[in-house]
Amino acid sequence: MLSGSPSRSGVFQAASDKRLEAFGESISFDHRLYRQDVRGSIAHARMLSKQGMLTSDEFEQIEAALRVIESEIEQGKMPFRHELEDIHMHIESALIERLGDVGRKLHTARSRNDQVNTDLRLWIRDELDHMDQLLKSLQLAFLSRCERDADVVLPAYTHLQRAQPVLAAHYWLAYIEKYQRDRERLADCRRRVNVCGLGSAACAGTTLPIDRDMTASELGFERVAANSLDVSSDRDFVLETAFVLAMIAEHLSGWAEEWILWSTVEYSFIRLPQKFCTGSSIMPHKVNPDTLELTRGKSARVLGNLNTLLVLVKGLPLAYNRDLQEDKPPLFDSFDTVQACLELAIPIVAESELQIESINSRLDQGFLDATTLMEHLIQQGIPQRTAHHLVGQLVGLAQKGCVRLADLSEEQLKSTHASLNLSLRDVLGVEKAVKAYQSYGSSNPDQVRMQMNRWRQQLQ
């Protein structure tokens, strides 16, 4: 028996170079698939037993030994060695050490190609479910803020310029919507992940009488993959997962950027929990939003991981190529990074405090009610473009006098249009503007309450 990689069969006349063993190993990162590998191996062995390729006693021996091996890995009792390459060969080698020829039968009718495809699908499926629960917890954190900040009015921005007044709850509901789309993408992605490739073997299937539907059912897959060549090469489900994680990271980064701005003295909208902030090594007064900045920064890693995976598979011919071993580090890193960001985002959202006095002291700045005034003029029969021009003129007058639109005199109003008078003040001011909204999905208080109730029912 030659030493070195277990993937080298009797055709080789020389041992593998130690440098190749170090270069080609994946156990340093794919060891986290051990639970899924044991689960898939037990399902495979049970099918082999049903099909008569293992006796009942052999299956029981294999299952029991695999459970022990799983426990030893979990407890850190199994040493990982480069020459055994990956988690699959570590587990199989440990099984053979315990059971001899009975252990050697486990790999009947499967290849590491379909084995790793199956293990990875099982692992991703579990992680997608966990990610969904984290996103739901974040949604609930925003929903709890809706109740707490129900009466607070905030300026909404476009181009980072003050635009129109909205309820704070309307802001929080916007983020709930974003994370719901992320959850829907997770669920849709999960359908394509939840396909069983086990039994496709290396690339062409097998001549042995296996039951692929049985193993798929044992492992909770929705269906069986239909083409063995495709199974061996397919990493679409990895790329799609990486894309979904990238979208979550994008949304987290946008939220982080907004709250970083809001926490500055210039905005003074929100006070972050100090336990999620850091100080300065030289400036004693600083309370820096480092957690949010790192969330924004770490999103770049998740986006980069998606790009890495796209480039990895872009030129690969059918079927399996060893390049595919490199799919796991970026995938694992994306899951780890997004999970860490979500675990911190949840308490930050729940525990931050709006600086209501500071917000209210400047709500009259920026002419947030200008659009409401324009739409009031439209309801009076003035064409939209004319109304838009008239309100623009009024804003110009107010800017020159350093006053609000509501403070303009009747003479100033009539100087732009003879029909304008002081009755316009009935629709001016942020509270009146917010109440004036009528459309579905707007920041009208009744609309916001309706959306809050809908989300309360959906999430709880």
Catalytic residues: 159, 280
> Which residues lie below 8 Å from residue 343, measured CB to CB, with a gap of 6+?
134
Question: What are the distances in angstroms from CA 460 to CA 140, 143, 447, 453?
Answer: 8, 10, 20, 10
Tell me whether strands 153-158 and 161-167 are parallel, antiparallel or unpaired. Answer: antiparallel
Dihedral through CA 215, CA 218, CA 222, CA 223, nearest 10?
Answer: 10
CA dist., res. 247 & res. 327, Å (int): 19
> Which residues lie below 8 Å from residue 424, measured CB to CB, with a gap of 6+?
373, 376, 413
Kindly report whether the peptide bond that precedes residue 15 is cis, defined as omega within 30 degrees of 0: no
CA dist., res. 91 & res. 94, Å (int): 5
CA dist., res. 209 & res. 53, Å (int): 9
Tell me whether strands 195-196 and 161-167 are parallel, antiparallel or unpaired. Answer: unpaired
**Beta bridge pairs of residue 317:** none
Buried b (16+ CB within 10 A) or exposed e, 379-413: eeebeeeebbebbeebeebbeeeeebbbebeeebb
Tokens of 459: 């999430």
Buried b (16+ CB within 10 A) or exposed e, 300-310: ebbbebbebbe
Nearest Cα to 333, choosing from 360, 295, 303? Answer: 303
Nearest Cα to 108, choosing from 45, 181, 188? Answer: 45
CA dist., res. 306 & res. 313, Å (int): 11
Q: At what angle do helices 384-401 and 370-379 cross, to 10 degrees?
A: 140
- CB–CB of 23/34 below 8 Å? no
Residue type for 236, please? D
**Beta bridge pairs of residue 156:** 164
**Looking up tokens 């040493």, which residue turns up?**
79
Tokens of 358: 């500071």
- CB–CB of 359/154 below 8 Å? yes
